[in-house]
Structure 1
Amino acid sequence: MKKFLLGAATLIALAAPAAAADMPPRPYSKAPAYTAPAVVYNWTGFYIGGHVGGAFAGDNSLQSSDARFMGGIQGGFDYQFSQNWVVGAEAQYSWLGGGNTNSGVLFPAGTLVTGSATDQLGSVTGRLGYTWGPALLYGKGGYAWRDTNNIGVSIAGVPQPFATSGNRKDGYTVGAGLEYMFAPNWSAKAEYQYYNFGNTTITAGPADVVGARFRDDEHTVKVGLNYRFGWGGPVVAKY
């Protein structure tokens, strides 16, 4: 029995290498490459912030054409309804410097028409934007409000009676800007906004100024900072 077992063990030892040599090689499989999860920026949510910039009266305006400092606050809501599109609404209020500064138009007969600079602007607008990553390019438009522009008519420094039409507080505004989400819940923007309040026409007064017409508008350029509540900031996509 011992001789039989010893012979069997020897036979198995000799056969094992031959069997191993006949086995096919083990296939090599490369580990899949690591793919970082995609980051999706979500603009949906409420926000509030502030802005600073400058305001410039348009051509043919009674207001000073010099740049005036402006600063204010804004708040609104955005809704991202697809991967690249955002719709929203925003309310904005601005204070402008130089409200007591007058500019004027001197007519050939010596009549001077003056107007004080607007010192408050407000707007309620809708906006539509295209987003890619943390950037949002948008246009906006809607209702605008201002303080009333005070007009004066004088000859040789003596005030003259007059009447006007127009000189409205209410108007419209349009603009465009670029906003960038630089941290969770925080975004910065640069924006141009145009305000139009129609025209002011002198309907009665000294003969040389009756019928004179002036445009009531403002061009503004500003930068701002927004804090976004709840949903703002990057979100890692899950698969």
Structure 2
Amino acid sequence: MRTRLYQAVAFAAVLSASATASSPVLSADLPPPALPPVYEQPLPPENVFEGWYLGGTIGGATVSYDFSQSNGSIDSNGVLGGAIGGWSWQSGPVVIGIEGDILGADINGSRHFNAGANLASPDINTMADLRLRAGYAITPRVLVFGTFGGAWANADLPITGPGGSGGSADFFGWSAGGGAEVALNPKWSARFDYQFTDFDSETVKYPGGPVTYDPDASTYRGSLIYRF
């Protein structure tokens, strides 16, 4: 009886040692535990503001005329819209370029003078700019910029009443402003900008005598840009 007990204990010890020895082998055969997936963030586009571009622009404007006949001014306001285009070079966050636009407009106002006998009604119907642009990309997709250049506008300048008639003039001057542009993707961007324009004065001859106009303009515009 005691012999059988010794045999059983010895057999159990052999089985335990065998299981311990085989455990590393079994563990090596098992696949490693799954790790959570790693998602790579897409890299931002480089020099997204570089190259040729063309777009549409629309906005509002106010124009104030110094007016020689009333010792005052004529205030006008209205809308404008048209095409904008240009070219930019980018190095890191720095952007430099040139751009221009051609705009149709309806910016009108009026003022009585000569004790109410006459009415001046200036109306700017076309504007254009050609200017330099310099900017800094505060993020890879957001550009802040300033502009400076020359500007032109054509205006109808009728005066009704004694000595009045139809009239028109071309105004030339300088323009400065700034704004921000956001790249929606590598091809499309949206922008908002403000421009101030100081036009030179022009004198128009009417049957009742010459009248001088000296306009300053402020424009506020939103644009959608396509980059080639």
Please say whether Structure 1 and Structure 2 have the same fold, judged by a TM-score greater than 0.5. yes
State yes or no: 1:75 paired with 2:85: yes
Tell me how far apart the structure 1 counterparts of residues 118 and 202 of structure 2 sit (CA, whole Å): 15
Who is 2:46 aligned against?
Answer: 41
- TM-score scaled by length of structure 1: 0.65
- TM-score scaled by length of structure 2: 0.68
The structure where strand makes up a greater share of residues is 2
Who is 2:31 aligned against?
Answer: none
State yes or no: 1:58 paired with 2:68: no
Query: Matched residue of 2:103: which SS?
Result: strand
> Which amino acid in the other structure matches residue 78 of structure 2?
R
User: Structure 1 residues 213, 170: CA separation in 2 closer, same or farther (over 3 Å shift)?
Assistant: closer
- Offset at residue 79 of structure 1 (A): 0.2
Q: What CA RMSD, in Å, does the superposition of the two structures yield over aligned residues?
A: 3.3
Q: Which runs of 5+ in 1 are unaligned?
A: 1-16, 18-32, 230-239
- After the TM superposition, which residues 7-156 of structure 1 pair with which residues of structure 2 at under 5 Å, given as runs? 38-42=43-47, 43-58=49-64, 60=66, 64-65=75-76, 67-80=77-90, 82-97=91-106, 101=108, 103-108=110-115, 110=116, 112=118, 114-132=120-138, 133-152=140-159
Tell me how far apart the structure 2 counterparts of residues 36 and 204 of structure 1 sit (CA, whole Å): 68
Which has the greater radius of gyration?
A: 2
Query: Matched residue of 1:159: which SS?
Result: coil
State yes or no: 1:158 paired with 2:162: yes
- Contact 1:138-1:178 at 8 Å conserved across structures: yes
User: Structure 1 residues 159, 183: CA separation in 2 closer, same or farther (over 3 Å shift)?
Assistant: same
User: Structure 1 residues 187, 37: CA separation in 2 closer, same or farther (over 3 Å shift)?
Assistant: closer
Tell me how far apart the structure 2 counterparts of residues 95 and 79 of structure 1 sit (CA, whole Å): 28
**Cα deviation code 1:99-122 (max 9, x no counterpart):** xx55124244x5535142101100
**Cα deviation code 1:126-163 (max 9, x no counterpart):** 110011220110111111111144243x5xx22358x9
> Which amino acid in the other structure matches residue 73 of structure 1?
A
Residue identity over aligned pairs, in percent, reads 27
User: Structure 1 residues 123, 142: CA separation in 2 closer, same or farther (over 3 Å shift)?
Assistant: same
- Offset at residue 58 of structure 1 (A): 2.4
Tell me how far apart the structure 2 counterparts of residues 202 and 120 of structure 1 sit (CA, whole Å): 18
Tell me how far apart the structure 2 counterparts of residues 205 and 196 of structure 1 sit (CA, whole Å): 28
> Which amino acid in the other structure matches residue 84 of structure 1?
P
Tell me how far apart the structure 1 counterparts of residues 204 and 114 of structure 2 sit (CA, whole Å): 13
User: Structure 1 residues 36, 148: CA separation in 2 closer, same or farther (over 3 Å shift)?
Assistant: closer
| Structure with higher RCO (Cα < 8 A, 6+ apart) | 1
Tell me how far apart the structure 2 counterparts of residues 202 and 220 of structure 1 sit (CA, whole Å): 25
Tell me how far apart the structure 2 counterparts of residues 189 and 35 of structure 1 sit (CA, whole Å): 30
- Contact 1:48-1:226 at 8 Å conserved across structures: yes
Q: Which runs of 5+ in 2 are unaligned?
A: 1-20, 22-37, 68-72
Tell me how far apart the structure 1 counterparts of residues 219 and 197 of structure 2 sit (CA, whole Å): 8
